[in-house]
Chain A
Amino acid sequence: MDTLAIIFESIIIGALIGFAVGAGAARMFHAPSVQGMGAFRTFGELNACEGDPLSHFSFGLGFLFNSWASVVGAGAFTQDVEHRIIPNWAAAALLWKNRNVAETLHNPKKMAFIGTVIGAVLVALMNSTAVAIPASLQAVATKVLVPAANWLINPVMPIVFWIAAIDAGERAGMWGTVLGGLAHLIMGNAVPGVVLGILIGKGVDDLGWNSITKTLLTAIIILFIGSAFFRGFDAKLLTDFHMGVPAWLIEVHKMFGSVVK
């Protein structure tokens, strides 16, 4: 009884997610003029496979074992289903027939439809199988891919984006350096900060300080302050400078449900 309900619900959920992930991933290749959806790591990894279907497939496969084991063992898929498996397998399926990335991987419509199929099948299969994955394969996938992916996210991608910002001109380099450093301090990864630095630097190069760039800068400042507060960075900052955290600040954090250590 439950199994049927699980399969039925999984197909619907997988199709919805697959459609959106496929379209969002394709739109990432047109960012920032088109709003995409995914992650910088997904973007980097999709680029890493250079439009080769076998590479996309095997990269997704490596993470499949891990996700599958995780959902069988703990009921949680890991984030890789949406970040890595669906986008890479959708890319592999499309590139199998046509090696031109501009017509396949970068096309939101095609990626959405193939993603729907892959998402529905994958989620239903993973949710309904209680058959354990060979532990040896799971161990290899975890031991090999997880560290490599983590290194890519930190420090490789921050450095590559940072250098790109520095090479893109004085203004982008300066903003990228400052915002990138702050982002690594506050958010734990420099890439969003460097990207914002390139954005504001290049925006000012092209447009000067007009209402758009001023609004951008204001939004960036709000983003950094908001992130710092919600991640408890303010309290950590005071502690690291050997100053006590005032009781009222702890209370404010409590109001938002977070506990200051």
Chain B
Amino acid sequence: METTETTNQQTGFWYSEWAFALFVAMISAGIFAGTHMYYVYHVGAFNDIAIVAMLQAGIEGGSYGPAAAFGASFLFARVLEGPLVGILDIGGALQTGVGIGIPAILLGMGVTAPLSSFPLALLTGAVIGLIIGAVIVLIRKFTFSENQSTFGADVMMGAGNASGRYLGPLIVISATMASIPVGIGSILGAAIFYAWKKPIAGGAVLGAMVLGALFPILTK
């Protein structure tokens, strides 16, 4: 079972606030450069097809407005939320905001250099990430100056652990709805993993995969 770590273990560079800004700079550089790869080679954008399609609409000569608005609003909300809850959402803030929204804004203004050149893409992403990381660290400095309260961290940890336990049964339920062989494979996998005292989610996925490979799900 999880226990909340005591604060004395969380010292040093790897737990520091400014290391966080560095991590955000790194991931943003990678994500922005991923969008550059998509722009140049049409492969490697770090987002879901539906969201990348918005950017594609702009690249194909349509409006960059939707991608820019969608990405920028996500970025704004998540940057405010991140320091408050202690988890910056990679999907909304970075993959959508930095990877789709900001490129759309730049391309909409006719600035193509950061997206056509790989080194420039890395640099642009890193600078954007550093700014985002610094904003989050500053917000934290103004809200949580010293740890006089854990702000319910233990409650959140407990809820995180508890919600994780639901995944196994959910996968089995989902598998039984996909097809009979896949469902049976998933049940067997879950049962075997349970017998081995392992979390059943992994067994449910593997069982579903094995039977799904032998008996593919029929598509209309």
Query: Chain A interface (Cβ within 8 Å of chain B)?
Result: 2, 5-6, 9-10, 12-14, 16-17, 19-21, 23-24, 27-40, 42-50, 52, 54-59, 61-62, 70-71, 74-79, 81-83, 102, 106-109, 112, 123, 127, 134-137, 139-141, 143-145, 147-149, 151-152, 156-157, 160-161, 163-165, 168, 172, 187, 192, 195-196, 198-199, 201-203, 206-207, 212, 215-216, 219-220, 222-223, 226-227, 230-231, 256-259
Contact = CB atoms under 8 A, between A and B. Distances in A.
Contacts of A216: 84, 143
B143 A219 contact: yes
A33 B153 contact: yes
Contacts of B166: 48, 152, 156, 160
A48 B167 CA distance: 6
A77 B100 CA distance: 13
Residue in B41, B136, B163, B167 with the greatest tally of chain A CB atoms within 10 Å: B163
Contacts of B42: 75
A152 to B, nearest CB: 6
Given A83-B90, A164-B162, A156 B69 contact: no
Contact of B155 (A61, A106, A165): A165
A139 B163 contact: no
A31 B153 contact: yes
Contacts of A74: 49, 52
A64 to B, nearest CB: 11
Interface of B: 2, 5, 7, 10, 14-15, 17, 19-20, 23-24, 26-27, 29-31, 33-34, 37-38, 41-49, 51-52, 65-66, 68-70, 72-74, 76-77, 80-91, 95, 118, 122, 136-137, 139-140, 142-145, 147-153, 155-168, 170-171, 173-175, 177-179, 182, 186, 193, 198-199, 201-203, 205-206, 208-209, 212-213, 216-217, 219
Given A58-B206, A168-B155, A47 B170 contact: no
A75 to B, nearest CB: 4
Contacts of B209: 58, 61-62, 137, 140-141
B34 A13 contact: yes
Contact of A148 (B47, B86, B153, B170): B170
Given A44-B163, A198-B151, 15 more contacts: A32-B151, A33-B150, A37-B82, A47-B2, A49-B202, A55-B202, A58-B203, A61-B206, A70-B49, A139-B212, A202-B155, A206-B149, A212-B144, A219-B139, A226-B76
A40 B47 contact: no
B1 to A, nearest CB: 10
Residue in B86, B145, B162 with the greatest tally of chain A CB atoms within 10 Å: B86
Nearest to B83: A35
Nearest to B167: A48
Contacts of A34: 10, 15, 86
20 contacts: A16-B26, A20-B23, A27-B15, A33-B10, A35-B82, A38-B88, A49-B202, A52-B199, A61-B209, A79-B46, A82-B27, A127-B43, A127-B44, A165-B155, A195-B85, A207-B148, A215-B142, A231-B77, A257-B69, A259-B65
A44 B170 CA distance: 13
A10 B212 contact: no
